[in-house]
């Protein structure tokens, strides 16, 4: 018998009735119980109604991690609207492009941009109503509408195929290995799809979600100890910064409460993953690979990974296959483009606004990733096809070089791109943010022992700003376009 589904608003009301005084969400010095969370989101929902937000609307949400972020989401769902999360530091031009795609009636954010529709805070919404009683139960037709710039840098919306519903019953173990008594720590940004989905799952289980307003390496370890967190989500960039803390700093904190550590959203260097597996335990470390589109999913535990080093796991939802340039499926260990297909008979998992899916006959779709499967069905990813660099006829994948660079103790973040070259087709250029020392010779010596010659960067550039966003994403296409434009300006007329 299928699980009975209820609206997300009704699920929060159920939890407020079941465990009114239990902590629902904490951030900084603020903690909301399930009853407080429910009542605040009722008031904020009435504030949205006063601004004309209605059933089926997409509402752009640009807040940092906070209890307000959660309140805003449930306020939307309670009137049948859909959260459309964006980065809280989004440039005005990109925000306006997304607003146009979403047709959002209001923007809930703290931007300083001048925009052509109401820019509101959660406090603004709460100021419009003191009525925290329950609203008529409605279900948002679309649960979420995250954005993606993808490899092109042009924003698109990815509308979830699932409506705003949750199971009426709370299982013993839910998605993401969450439990009703989980203390789930989330230092990653809620505006990113993975963090957003995990937030939804945690509240669906009635867990306690502890948000960090921003990621700081040592502060994350301190929060695990302070809250006795049993569950945490990190992106590989965060893992790298934690691992590069002094060993005595890492050793100061008690992580014994931790039962699950998820990482996803970006490639994790093998050396870094192995370090975490040996640190917190092979059964604790979990990885998932999927797109926001969610046609198919792979998962892998740390214990499995030690037997299949470098893999992102076996397919657990839907289907995947590696496809050659002739459009035919490839045999084990042959590298090709990864195509995905949702489970047979399942409804569409997403809809694009502002983009078109890359499809093959039979319902197969590609997100542009390339990789291969081993004989046991474990998937190994190389990189995005659009990011691959062709050097003298050889395929070079930036993620491999970036992973090697990040092993260097002075490297904070990095991005590798290809610069056009008349001789080789492309030259490898490394953009590096360091922790202080800018020793190109040291980086070259470091890579000389790790990468074949043609994969080693020809040129280096040092920058002060982080190259990945809070979700661990890097837009290599934008970095490449900027450098190519600079080179053209330097050429004689």
Predicted local distance difference test score (pLDDT) of residue 491: 67
Pick the CATH number of 286-385 from 1.10.3260.10, 2.170.190.11, 2.30.38.10, 2.20.25.10: 2.30.38.10
Please give the Cα distance from 334 to 67 (Å, whole number). Answer: 47
Domain(s) labelled CATH 2.30.38.10 in the chain stretch across 286-385
pLDDT-derived band at 38 (thresholds 50, 70, 90) equals: very high
| Mean pLDDT computed over every residue of the chain | 92
pLDDT tens string 387-413:
878 787 677 888 889 989 999 999 999
pLDDT tens string 202-259:
999 999 999 999 999 999 999 999 999 999 999 888 998 899 999 999 999 999 999 9
pLDDT tens string 80-136:
999 999 989 888 888 999 999 999 999 999 999 899 999 999 999 999 999 999 999
Residue 315 pLDDT greater than 60, yes or no: yes
Q: Please answer whether residues 119 and 90 qualify as being in contact, where contact means their C-beta atoms are separated by less than 8 angstroms.
A: no
Please give the Cα distance from 354 to 81 (Å, whole number). Answer: 20
Alpha carbon separation from 337 to 62, 125, 148, 184, 366 (Å, rounded): 34, 46, 20, 35, 7
pLDDT tens string 67-95:
999 999 999 999 999 999 998 988 888 89
Domain(s) labelled CATH 3.40.50.12780 in the chain stretch across 7-285
Q: Which fold has domain 7-285?
A: Rossmann fold (3.40.50)
Beta strands in 281-356 (DSSP E): 285-289, 297-301, 314-317, 319-323, 336-341, 350-353
Residue 426's Cβ-side half-sphere holds a number of Cα atoms within 13 Å equal to 23
pLDDT tens string 334-393:
999 999 999 999 999 999 998 888 899 999 999 888 899 999 999 998 867 778 787 876
pLDDT tens string 261-293:
999 977 788 999 999 999 999 999 999 999 889
Mean pLDDT computed over 43-58? 98
Predicted local distance difference test score (pLDDT) of residue 266: 77
Beta strands in 241-318 (DSSP E): 260-263, 285-289, 297-301, 314-317
Burial category of 169 from C-beta neighbours within 10 Å (exposed 0-12, middle 13-18, buried 19 and up)? exposed
Q: Please answer whether residues 233 and 195 qualify as being in contact, where contact means their C-beta atoms are separated by less than 8 angstroms.
A: yes
Predicted local distance difference test score (pLDDT) of residue 1: 46
The count of other CB atoms within 10 Å of the CB of residue 157 is 22
Residue 152 pLDDT greater than 60, yes or no: no
Domain(s) labelled CATH 3.30.300.30 in the chain stretch across 388-490
Specify the CATH number of the domain 388-490. Answer: 3.30.300.30
pLDDT tens string 430-480:
999 998 789 999 999 999 988 888 899 999 999 998 888 777 788 888 899
- Transcribe 224-249 into DSSP letters: HHHHT-SEEEE-HHHHHHHHTS-HHH
pLDDT > 70: what percent of the chain?
97
Residue 493 pLDDT greater than 60, yes or no: no
């Amino acid at each position: 018998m299928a699980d009975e589904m209820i609206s997300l608003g009704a699920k929060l009301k159920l939890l407020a009735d079941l465990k009114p005084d239990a902590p629902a969400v904490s951030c900084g010095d603020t903690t909301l119980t399930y009853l407080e969370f429910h009542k605040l989101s009722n008031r904020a929902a009435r504030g949205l109604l006063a601004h004309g937000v209605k059933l089926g609307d997409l509402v752009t949400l640009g807040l940092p991690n906070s209890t307000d972020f959660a309140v805003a989401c449930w306020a939307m769902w309670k009137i049948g609207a859909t959260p459309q999360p964006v980065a809280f530091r989004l440039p005005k031009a990109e925000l306006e492009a997304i607003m146009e795609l979403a047709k959002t009636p209001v923007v809930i954010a703290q931007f300083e941009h001048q925009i052509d529709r109401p820019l509101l805070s959660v406090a603004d919404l709460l100021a419009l109503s003191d009525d925290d009683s329950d609203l008529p139960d409605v279900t948002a037709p679309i649960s979420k509408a995250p954005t993606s710039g993808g490899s092109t840098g042009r924003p698109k919306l990815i509308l979830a195929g699932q409506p705003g519903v949750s199971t009426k019953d709370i299982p013993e173990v839910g998605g993401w290995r969450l439990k009703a008594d989980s203390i789930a720590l989330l230092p990653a940004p809620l505006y990113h799809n993975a963090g957003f989905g995990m937030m939804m799952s945690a509240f669906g289980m009635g867990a306690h979600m502890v948000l960090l307003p921003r990621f700081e390496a040592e502060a994350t370890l301190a929060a695990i100890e302070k809250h006795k967190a049993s569950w945490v989500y990190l992106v590989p960039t965060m893992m790298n910064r934690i691992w590069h803390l002094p060993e005595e700093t890492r050793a100061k904190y008690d992580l014994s409460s931790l039962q699950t550590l998820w990482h996803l959203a970006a490639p994790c260097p093998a050396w870094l993953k192995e370090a975490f597996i040996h640190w917190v335990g092979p059964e604790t470390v979990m990885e998932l690979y999927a797109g926001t589109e969610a046609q198919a999913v792979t998962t892998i535990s740390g214990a499995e990974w030690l037997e299949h080093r470098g893999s992102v796991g076996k397919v657990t939802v839907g289907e995947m296959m590696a496809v050659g340039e002739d459009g035919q499926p490839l045999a084990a260990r042959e590298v090709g483009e990864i195509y995905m297909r949702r489970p047979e008979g399942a409804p569409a998992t997403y809809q694009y606004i502002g983009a078109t899916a890359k499809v093959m006959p039979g319902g197969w779709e590609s997100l542009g990733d390339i990789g291969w499967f081993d004989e046991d069905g474990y998937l190994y990813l190389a990189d995005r096809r659009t990011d691959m660099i062709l050097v003298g006829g050889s395929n070079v994948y930036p993620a491999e070089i970036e992973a090697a660079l990040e092993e260097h103790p002075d490297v904070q973040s990095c991005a590798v791109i290809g610069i056009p070259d008349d001789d080789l087709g492309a030259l490898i250029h490394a953009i590096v943010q360091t922790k202080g020392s800018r020793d190109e010779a040291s980086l070259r010596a470091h890579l000389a022992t790790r990468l074949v010659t043609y994969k080693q960067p020809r040129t280096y550039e040092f920058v002060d700003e982080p190259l990945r966003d809070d979700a661990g994403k890097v837009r290599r296409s934008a970095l490449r376009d900027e450098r190519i434009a600079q080179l053209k300006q330097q050429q004689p007329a």
